[in-house]
Amino acid sequence: MCSTQAFAAAPIVVACGPGQHAIVRDAFVRGETVTRVECVSSGAYRSSTYRTQEVPRYRVARPHRSWGKTALIIGGGAGTGAGIGGIIRGKKGALIGAALGGGAASLYEGAHRR
């Protein structure tokens, strides 16, 4: 059953058989709006689903150093400097060696983190 827009403005009564339901579709035929009504069985009609296409995204994985590893490297440099300074000059040498070792390790880490 097809109708023009004038007919679609009035109420439409559709009697479908058992196990069927009415489907109403609007379309354009030769520039005119046409309403189409069909009786179909329950399994015949399936609604359209639209999905956007997923676009793969690529990301370059940059190697990074964790804060824990940085702390171990700086602490290791300070400990080594303190050990060497303590052997050479005692307690005061250990303090100076720890400061120099920690500072050198910080500079090393700063250069490698970039």
pLDDT digits (tens, 9 = 90+) for 62-99: 777 788 888 999 999 999 999 999 999 898 999 999 99
Quick check: is 105 in a domain?
Answer: yes
Report residue 10's pLDDT band, with 50, 70 and 90 as the boundaries: low
Q: What is the pTM of this model?
A: 0.43
Q: What is the DSSP letter of 10?
A: S
Find the domain containing 31 and state its range: 2-41
pLDDT digits (tens, 9 = 90+) for 101-111: 999 999 998 88
Same domain, 34 and 75: no
Residue 59 lies in a domain: no
Residues 6+ apart with CB under 8 A from 25: 35, 36, 37, 38
**Domain assignment present for 18:** yes
